[in-house]
């Protein structure tokens, strides 16, 4: 009898083990467990539950069904090996109880050697389904996902229109719906959860999270089918996909020791799904006419600008790494250029190792003449009104004063074909495409097989990419984050010009969207304008472009252009160390995040054993004190590093963190690398006040102190030529003639500071 009981017990244990194996996958750091009764999943990383009670939801926006309402729920698993990794695939399926009888399959892809898993949902029926909402990630069960401390949720905008910003929100605060992806992370330890859609062919994806104070994720929803007037610019709800089989986007759930690496991994996965548009050239350097000339661009000014770049900037090495410079026309070229002017301009550029660029808005009707005949490239006799992308009520849709055109309409397609045939015939090799978000709106599309705004947008952008082929660099201006694989570059934010505020606004997007150059070849910080600002502010603006991506200047460099802007760019562009750094790097990433929407002040980039640190001061009224923190930069305390500031050329040796300062409205770029044997730099104690002359701005500065109480400048003959007896952090010596001088000052602690300098 005892043997029989043991035998039965062993059978029950074996059965239990098999059931557990069916419902649970352990792969690498991940464990995913399915509740067979409800189809809900528990997702754990390194034995810590990060998502509990996850279940799919789908339907139309006002008629949603969740997985736990299904019958005939089944769980299965199998091996998985694809382009994302290898491991196990865990599938839970069920059927609806009401017509149309639909099978819902929710799949988890658990990779044994990755810090992420993927998930998607497929709906299948014998009858046609109509679906405009699918949520592969949906939970209202709380999980403790982060360490105690400062925990953030990132709001990611859908596009870069309307001067929108990324924004960080503290845990416990209200979090608005953001788009495509988000990061929930600890700003101290950098551990973080990254989640979002990695496919962008059909759906606009929304991400909503509710957090509790400190570490708690109370609910999470990552869903296909988001629209909003303020976010996606849509008047209509998301278009419904009509088919017997409807698939969600594939979603990523990742947990990383560094949230910054997590967002880069997310970008890499998007590029696996939709590989980057190939580009064989180097990171573009160049010019765009919208910075200052704007509506005044004409053939004479364009050619004079081309000549200026060749003689004054390219001659001293300011150019792309492949020695090319792009000279780009922006809006209003079509008003001010005759056909013959294009050939002359392009020829002038080519003769000087430059590539000419042009501008267009393919999905916008600015004239809004409904009955006017549309240039449709021979596609038919259509009016502009025929091609308008109308909403569900039949009304044209307007953004920024222009009506949206339907990317699937024959007239829109024919117009695109005719335009690009002209550009290529004239010899243009760069095109800036603007106001693209018009083409991604939901609405009534000519192509009946197109059900959503992103399907239409993909169709239009794919056609442009095919027309341009390998002959043009395609650069997006106002555009959704995704899809990215039809262009080489995308402007990281909206318009920016010369001010400190413009720079800070742009770097808000660099700080939380730098990883987009894992999907595009390059980000674009918009044109750099110098006119009307001090050279230190110019340096901040130019630094922001160098550390974001492609570098495009925007001043009037024609014969009668602003002489001050020319003088300053010639001086700044002569710094070949900074230009070389820009050649070698892509987008810098933040050392730490900021709360809210202000951009951080510190950005970094590492190549091999060299770390670059850019520090920017957006304040015009006060200095920026900071710590060059070895731990946060990934440097090893005790090892000796050369720390070279590239704008001034000053360098010291450092083996531990130290305090430094960037003067008001200025920027610094530090190149930090292990000290070579017999390097000639003499170590300067980090606590010692250093005094020096900055030739770029014509000022004497004293670092390591809050301010100076007194400052005096003497000639070598002993004559006092400058005297200041009030609190200050720099001494302007621009008015002094060239020569050698002696500086003596008294700092805030009463210490005497002295140095000699040559002006």
Residue 570 pLDDT class (50, 70, 90 cuts): very high
The predicted pLDDT at position 707 comes to 74
The predicted pLDDT at position 378 comes to 86
SS3 state at 595: coil
**pLDDT digit string (tens) for 40-94?**
999 999 989 999 999 999 998 778 999 999 999 999 999 999 999 999 999 999 9
Q: Is residue 681 scored above 80 in pLDDT?
A: no
Determine contact, residues 31/23, Cβ cutoff 8 Å: no
- Domains in the chain and their CATH numbers? 16-273 (2.70.98.10), 689-759 (2.60.40.3080)
φ, ψ of residue 500 in degrees (nearest 5) = -60, -40
CA dihedral 340, 336, 527, 162 (to 10 degrees): -130
- HEC readout, 694-752: ECCCCEEEEECCCCEEEEEEEECCCCEEEEECCCECEEECCCCCCCEEEEEEEECCCCE
The predicted pLDDT at position 705 comes to 60
Distance CA 38, CA 87 (A): 24
Tokens of 372: 């006017």
The pTM assigned to this predicted structure is: 0.89
**pLDDT digit string (tens) for 377-418?**
888 899 999 999 999 999 999 999 999 999 999 999 999 999
Task: State the residue for tokens 């922006």.
Answer: 330
The predicted pLDDT at position 706 comes to 60
Residue 704 pLDDT class (50, 70, 90 cuts): low
Q: What count of other Cβ atoms lies within 10 Å of the Cβ of residue 142?
A: 16
The predicted pLDDT at position 684 comes to 43
DSSP-assigned beta bridge partners for residue 75: 92
Provide the terminal-to-terminal Cα distance of the chain, rounded to the nearest Å. 104
**pLDDT digit string (tens) for 521-564?**
999 999 999 999 999 999 999 999 999 999 999 999 999 999 99
CA distances for 333 relative to 144, 329, 364, 402, 688, angstroms: 56, 6, 17, 18, 56
Determine contact, residues 287/557, Cβ cutoff 8 Å: yes
- For 447-481, letters b (16+ CB in 10 Å) and e give eeebbbbbbbbbbbbebbbebbeeebbbbbbbbbb
With CA atoms as reference, report the closest residue to 560 among 287, 288, 298: 298
**pLDDT digit string (tens) for 288-327?**
999 999 999 999 999 999 999 999 999 999 999 999 999 9
Query: Which positions ≥6 away from 658 have C-beta within 8 Å?
Result: 627, 628, 686, 687
Residue 4 pLDDT class (50, 70, 90 cuts): very low
């Amino acid at each position: 009898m005892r043997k029989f009981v043991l035998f039965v017990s062993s059978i029950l244990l074996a059965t239990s083990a098999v059931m557990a194996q069916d419902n649970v996958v352990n792969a690498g750091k991940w464990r995913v467990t399915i509740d067979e009764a409800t189809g809900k999943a528990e997702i754990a990383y390194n034995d810590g539950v990060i998502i509990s009670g996850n279940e799919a939801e789908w339907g139309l926006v006002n008629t949603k069904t969740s997985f736990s309402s299904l019958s005939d729920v089944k769980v299965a698993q199998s091996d998985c090996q694809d382009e994302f990794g290898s491991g196990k695939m865990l599938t839970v399926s069920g059927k609806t109880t009401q017509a149309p009888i639909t099978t819902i399959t929710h799949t988890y892809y658990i990779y044994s050697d990755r810090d992420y898993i993927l998930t998607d949902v497929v709906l299948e029926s014998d009858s046609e389904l109509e679906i405009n909402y699918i949520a592969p990630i949906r939970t209202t069960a709380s999980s403790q996902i982060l360490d105690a401390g400062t925990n953030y949720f990132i709001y990611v905008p859908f596009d870069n229109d309307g001067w929108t910003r990324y924004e960080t929100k503290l845990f416990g605060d209200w979090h608005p719906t953001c788009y495509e992806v988000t990061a929930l992370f600890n700003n101290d330890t950098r551990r973080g959860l990254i989640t979002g859609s990695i496919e962008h062919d059909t759906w606009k994806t929304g991400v909503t999270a509710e957090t509790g104070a400190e570490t708690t994720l109370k609910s999470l929803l990552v869903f296909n089918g988001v629209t909003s007037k303020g976010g996606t610019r849509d008047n209509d709800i998301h278009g419904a996909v009509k088919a017997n089989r409807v698939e969600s986007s594939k979603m990523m759930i990742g947990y990383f020791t560094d949230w910054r690496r997590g967002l880069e991994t997310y970008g890499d996965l998007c590029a696996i799904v939709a590989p980057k548009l190939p580009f064989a050239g180097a990171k573009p350097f160049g010019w765009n006419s919208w910075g200052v000339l704007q509506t005044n661009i004409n053939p004479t000014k364009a050619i004079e600008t081309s000549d200026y770049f060749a003689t004054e900037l390219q001659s001293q090495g300011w150019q792309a790494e492949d020695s090319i410079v792009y000279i780009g026309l922006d809006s209003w070229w079509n008003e001010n250029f005759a056909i013959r002017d294009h050939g002359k301009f392009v020829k002038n550029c080519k003769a000087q190792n430059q590539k000419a660029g042009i501008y267009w808005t393919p999905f916008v009707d600015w004239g809004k003449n409904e009955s006017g005949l549309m240039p449709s490239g021979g596609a038919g006799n259509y009016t502009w009104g025929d091609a308008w992308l109308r909403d569900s009520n039949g009304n044209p849709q307007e953004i920024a004063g222009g009506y949206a055109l339907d990317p699937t309409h024959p007239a829109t397609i024919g117009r695109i074909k005719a335009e690009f045939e002209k550009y290529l015939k004239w010899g243009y090799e760069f095109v800036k495409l603007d106001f693209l978000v018009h083409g991604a709106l939901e609405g009534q599309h000519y192509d009946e097989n197109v059900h959503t705004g992103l399907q239409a947008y993909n169709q239009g952008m794919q056609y442009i990419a095919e027309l341009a082929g390998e002959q043009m660099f395609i650069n997006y201006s106002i555009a959704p984050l995704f899809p990215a694989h039809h262009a080489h570059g995308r402007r990281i934010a909206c318009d920016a010009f010369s001010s400190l505020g413009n720079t800070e606004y742009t770097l808000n997007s660099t700080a939380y969207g730098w990883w987009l150059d894992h999907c595009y070849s390059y980000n674009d910080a918009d044109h750099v304008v110098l006119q009307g600002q001090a050279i230190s502010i110019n340096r901040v603006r130019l630094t922001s472009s160098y550390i974001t991506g492609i570098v495009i200047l925007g001043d009037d460099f024609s014969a009668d252009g602003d002489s001050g802007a020319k003088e300053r760019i010639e001086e700044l562009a002569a710094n070949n160390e900074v230009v070389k750094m820009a050649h070698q790097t892509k987008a810098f990433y933040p050392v730490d995040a900021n709360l809210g929407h202000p951009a951080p002040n510190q950005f970094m980039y590492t190549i091999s054993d060299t770390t670059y640190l850019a520090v920017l001061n957006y304040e015009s009224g006060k200095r920026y004190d900071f710590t060059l923190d070895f731990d946060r930069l990934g440097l090893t305390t005790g090892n000796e590093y050369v720390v070279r500031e590239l704008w001034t050329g000053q360098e010291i040796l450092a083996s531990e963190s130290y305090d430094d300062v960037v003067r008001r409205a200025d920027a610094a770029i530090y190149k930090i690398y292990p000290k070579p044997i017999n390097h000639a730099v003499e170590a300067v104690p980090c606590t010692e006040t250093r005094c020096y002359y900055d030739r770029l701005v014509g000022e004497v500065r004293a670092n390591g102190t809050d301010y100076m109480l007194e400052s005096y400048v003497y000639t070598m003959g002993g004559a006092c030529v400058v005297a200041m007896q009030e609190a200050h952090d720099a001494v302007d010596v621009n008015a002094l003639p060239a020569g050698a001088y002696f500086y003596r000052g008294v700092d805030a602690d009463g210490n005497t500071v002295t140095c000699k300098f040559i002006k």
